[in-house]
Amino acid sequence: MNDLYGIDPKAPSSIGELSALIRLFSPSEGRFIADFPIGWTSEMRDHMRSLSDLCRMATIEAWLNLGAHAVLPTKQQYKSSLSWAENASYIRGDVIKLIGPSEKSKSPIEPIDQVLNDPLAFRDSRSELIPRTANAYAEVARPLLLRSRKVVLIDPYITFRYRATNSSQWFTDRRRNVVKSMLKVAKQGKYLECFEIFYVPESKDVPGSEYLDADLKELVNELDFNYLQVAAKPIKKDTNTKQHARYLLGLRSGLHFDHGFDTNDDGSKNHVDWISPSVLIHLLEKFT
């Protein structure tokens, strides 16, 4: 899940190869492209303009716009004095595979025509069982948190505090640490402008939820995330059962957390999936 690949922006030799790449690389597929060099999408656009079928630039622009949110930053610095193939050695340890132009690429860089024609070249990356820890949740959500200007978390039973039975004292709930870890990642990306939580208010199963909005704002102040707009918004429970879905949504992608956002150190795992576009569009209409 969240597999990162290094791709030479001059690798595609046709709009067909470009469209094949865009289908393979998107959050819904769990595959991402390293922004290497920085401005990878612009480099790809310039390369595609240099090809003969310039009359199809509108189609190329559409494909690039679809794929732009699957391009993630890398910590490695690109040296403009070197070719992409020479620079690739710096990110080799950070990516699953290096992909370059057909016929011109040599090991460890794989030619684009070969990987696109190999049914086993790309492993399934759409879901995973991850540890139920705050750091693991933040890491699996990293692509979404780094690239979306708005993120919403949906969990009917979330709270940042709890109170023991027959006690008047409040304690910090574990889910506060999950949101804290996520916001730390988002702050690194400098894209996020708005973060909202949707919850069921005044539920007997969630004492302390009435303080959620204030608790969220307090957390943002603690992180010195001054420009971030936040809010906790109440929603109606869809059913009378305890079955409910938990999601983390960006404007172009979303994650489904099967076990919610609670943590545990007992070694248990949480099944997390990237949401398919057909489902995501309905969730975005409802929550964003």
pLDDT category at 54 given cuts 50, 70, 90 is low
Determine contact, residues 191/146, Cβ cutoff 8 Å.
yes
pTM: 0.91
H-assigned helices in the chain:
15-24, 40-49, 57-67, 84-87, 112-117, 134-140, 142-147, 174-189, 212-222, 277-287
- Angle of helix 40-49 relative to helix 15-24, nearest 10 degrees, comes to 160
Q: Is 114 helix (H, G, I), strand (E, B) or coil?
A: helix
Query: For 100-118, what is each residue's pLDDT tens digit?
Result: 999 889 999 999 999 999 9
pLDDT of residue 122: 97
pLDDT of residue 89: 95
Query: For 168-183, what is each residue's pLDDT tens digit?
Result: 788 888 999 999 999 9
Query: For 61-102, what is each residue's pLDDT tens digit?
Result: 877 776 778 999 999 999 999 999 999 999 999 999 999 999
Q: What DSSP designation does 226 have?
A: T
Alpha carbons 126 and 186: distance in angstroms, whole number? 21
CA dihedral 199, 278, 271, 240 (to 10 degrees): 40
